[in-house]
């Protein structure tokens, strides 16, 4: 069994890894363990999990994990990446790899954030809300990006999570990232997500073939 640490930036990604990716990758003899990046300390002296990812924080995290696992990978949002040295997600992954130059390290940055994956099946939201409005709006958004959900952009107003929050609000509900994120992705299913999110699919395919 190959042991892999996945460095994640928050509880949403951790839940997704544990409940969706872990059972799938176990079929490939790959055991994955999500590890939430921690900040230094908050004002009360407690460690804070998640948020504000940057290269310096990643370096500390990966160095800590590499000696204890067969491989270490990452699952961070490009949208929330602080002080990015480039606006190209592929270049950013290359920069991260060169920080360690270790074959055990597999950098992956989600373009543009976790909620991107939830755009892979708009009709799911029609079934959930018993209303086709949110599905129709999601279809329009996807069409405006040439049907490539991983191009849905990363401004504070138009990032995937911001768009989903707005659509939920229009349906009279609040979008809770941790509660809804993993649950919706699980219901949509990895097969559907992989067909629509090709960068994500490439990363998952790489993890499947570590043996």
Token duo for residue 135: 């599905």
Q: What is the DSSP string of 9-68?
A: SSHHHHHHIIIIIHHHHHTTTEEEEEEE-B-S--TTS---BS--B-HHHHHHHHHHHGGG
Q: Among 99, 204, 110, 124, which Cα is nearest to 160's?
A: 110
Cα–Cα dist 164/116, whole Å: 10
pLDDT at 43 over 60: no
> Minimum mean pLDDT among 35-44, 85-94, 166-175: which range?
35-44
pLDDT at 40: 45
Q: What average pLDDT score do residues 147-169 get?
A: 92
- Please, what is the Cα angle at 79 between 205 and 159, to 5 degrees? 100
In tens, the pLDDT along 5-21 reads 999 999 999 999 999 99
Token duo for residue 53: 């990812």
Q: What average pLDDT score do residues 56-83 get?
A: 95
Cα–Cα dist 139/67, whole Å: 45
Q: How far is CA 170 from CA 123, 127, 177, in A?
A: 17, 16, 17
Q: What average pLDDT score do residues 136-148 get?
A: 96
Cα–Cα dist 25/89, whole Å: 25
Chain centroid to CA 78: 9
């Amino acid at each position: 069994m190959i042991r892999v640490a996945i460095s994640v930036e928050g509880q949403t990604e951790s839940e997704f890894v544990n409940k969706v990716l872990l059972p799938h990758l176990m079929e490939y003899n790959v055991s994955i363990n999500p590890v939430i990046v921690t900040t230094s300390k908050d004002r009360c002296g407690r460690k804070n999990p998640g948020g504000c990812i940057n290269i310096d924080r990643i370096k500390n995290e990966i160095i800590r994990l590499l000696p204890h696992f067969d491989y270490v990978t990452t699952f961070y949002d490009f949208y929330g990446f602080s002080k990015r040295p480039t606006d190209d997600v592929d270049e950013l992954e290359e920069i991260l790899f060169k920080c360690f130059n270790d074959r055990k390290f597999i950098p992956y940055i989600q373009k543009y954030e976790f909620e991107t994956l939830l755009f892979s099946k708009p009709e799911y939201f029609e079934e959930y809300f018993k209303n086709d409005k949110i599905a129709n709006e999601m279809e329009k958004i996807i069409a405006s990006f040439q049907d490539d959900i991983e191009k849905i952009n990363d401004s504070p107003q138009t990032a995937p999570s911001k768009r989903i929050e707005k659509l939920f609000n229009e349906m009279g509900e609040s979008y809770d990232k941790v509660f809804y994120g993993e649950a919706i992705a699980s219901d949509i299913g990895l097969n559907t997500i992989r067909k629509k999110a090709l960068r994500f699919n490439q990363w998952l395919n790489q993890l499947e073939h570590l043996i």
